[in-house]
Chain A
C-alpha cells in the first residue's frame, strides 16, 4: 500500500524516460498516417474503378479491415508475415498495421470527398479533353482536400491513441515503458497517470493544429503542380 500518495520525486525521475518513449509513439503515428493516407487514396480510387469485381472485392477488404480489431491485425502481421519470409521490426510492423487499418477508414473519407465534387467539374474536365490522371490531379483532388481535413485529422488522432497497442509486439512506446517502470518499482500510479496526461495533451494540441490547418487552407483549393 505504498501507492496512496502521489510521489513528486518519483514523477520527476520517470518523466524523462516516458518523454523519450514519446518520440517512438510520435514517430509511429507520423509514419502510420503517411502510409494510411496513401492506402486510403488507393482504396478510394480502386472503389471508383470501372471493373465491378475489383470494386466489390475492395469494398469487402475495407469492410473486413474496419470490423476486426487492430490488435489482432498487429499480431497477424507480426507472427504470420515471417512465415512468408518477411521479417519486419516491431516499429515497421506497427506502421504497416496502423496504415492499413486507418487507410480503410480514410478511404471512406476520401471517397465521400471525391463524390462531393460537382458533376459539372467532371464534365468540364472531359470537355477539355483532360486525361483521367490530370482530372484527378488538377481538378478533383485540389477541391476535395479541404472538406476532407477535419475527418482525416480525427482519424489521425484516433490512430495516435491506438499506438499503445503496439506495446503488445514489444515496441518500446510510452505505455510499455510506463508498464516496465511500474513493475520494477511497484508503483503504477505515477507512470500510468503521466502517460494518460501526455496523451490528453498531445491529442488536444493535435486537434487545435488540425483546426488551424483547416482554417488557413485556401477555400478554392490549391494547385498540386
Chain B
C-alpha cells in the first residue's frame, strides 16, 4: 500500500478521534464543575454522592469503565451504541479528575477575596460567580489542559470496543498490510500533533482569561 493511501485512511480515523474528543470534553467539563461545586458547597448527602462518583471513577481504570458501560449496561436493558458508550465513559472518567481541579482552584483563591465579598454584602451566588470563579478559572486552565491531553490519549481505548478511530484504523491497516513501522509511526505523530494543537489553544485561553487579573508573567 502506498504511503499516501495509508495517510488518507488514518486521517479518517483521526477525524473520528477528534469527534470523540469534541463530544467528551464538554461532558467532562460539565461533570467537573457540577460535582466539584457539589463537593464543596452542597449539603452532606449530595456531597457523599459526589465523593462516591469521584472515588469510583478515579479508582478504577478507564478501560474497565468503558467495558462496563458497553458490555454490562445492555443486560440492564440500557442498550447504547459504541459511540455513546465511548463518550459517556471517557467524559465521566476525565470529569472525575476534573472535579479535583475545580475544587483545588476554588480553594486556592486567597481567603481575603472571600472575606471582602462578604464585607461588601454580596449574595452567595454573586460571591461565587463574580468574585471567586473568575480568579479560579485562570488557575484551572493549565491542569484542565493536561486533562484534555489525557482525554485525547484515552480515546485510543475506544478502538477496543470496535469504534473506527485512529488506533482502530491503524490496527486493522497493520493487520492487512503488515507495514507496521510506517503505520504506527504516522499514528503516533498524529496524536502528537493533536495534543500539541490543544496545548497551543490552551495557552491562548490562559492568556485571554488572565487579562486584567494582574498575574505575574502575563502582560496588561
Contact = CB atoms under 8 A, between A and B. Distances in A.
A72 B195 CA distance: 14
Interface string B152-170: 1111110110000001001
Given A64-B188, A196-B68, A79 B56 contact: no
A164 interface: yes
A148 B188 CA distance: 30
Interface residues of B, number: 40
Looking at chain A's contact residues, the main secondary structure is helix
B181 A83 contact: yes
Given A4-B76, A76-B188, A79-B184, A71 B159 contact: yes
Interface in A132-187: 161-165, 167-168, 175, 179, 182, 187
Contacts of B59: 199-200, 203-204
Interface string B104-134: 0000000000000000000000000000000
B167 A199 contact: no
B161 to A, nearest CB: 11
Range, interface on chain A: 35 or more
B64 A165 contact: no
Interface centre among A1, A71, A162, A203 (most CB of B within 10 A): A71
Given A83-B181, A193-B68, A200-B60, A4 B75 contact: yes
Interface string A50-89: 0000000000000010111111110110011001000000
Contacts, number: 112
Contacts of A73: 188
B195 A68 contact: yes
Interface centre among B63, B65, B154 (most CB of A within 10 A): B63
A72 B72 contact: no
Looking at chain B's contact residues, the main secondary structure is helix
B187 interface: yes
Contacts of A1: 75, 77
B67 A72 contact: no
Given A70-B153, A193-B72, A75 B170 contact: yes
B53 interface: no
Interface string B51-83: 000011001111111011001100111000000
A38 interface: no
B180 interface: yes
A189 interface: yes
B137 to A, nearest CB: 24
Interface of B: 55-56, 59-65, 67-68, 71-72, 75-77, 149, 152-157, 159-160, 167, 170-171, 174, 180-181, 184-185, 187-188, 191-192, 195-196, 199
Given A1-B77, A75-B174, 8 more contacts: A3-B76, A4-B75, A67-B196, A72-B167, A72-B170, A80-B185, A175-B64, A175-B67
Interface of A: 1-4, 64, 66-73, 75-76, 79-80, 83, 161-165, 167-168, 175, 179, 182, 187-189, 192-193, 195-196, 199-200, 203-204
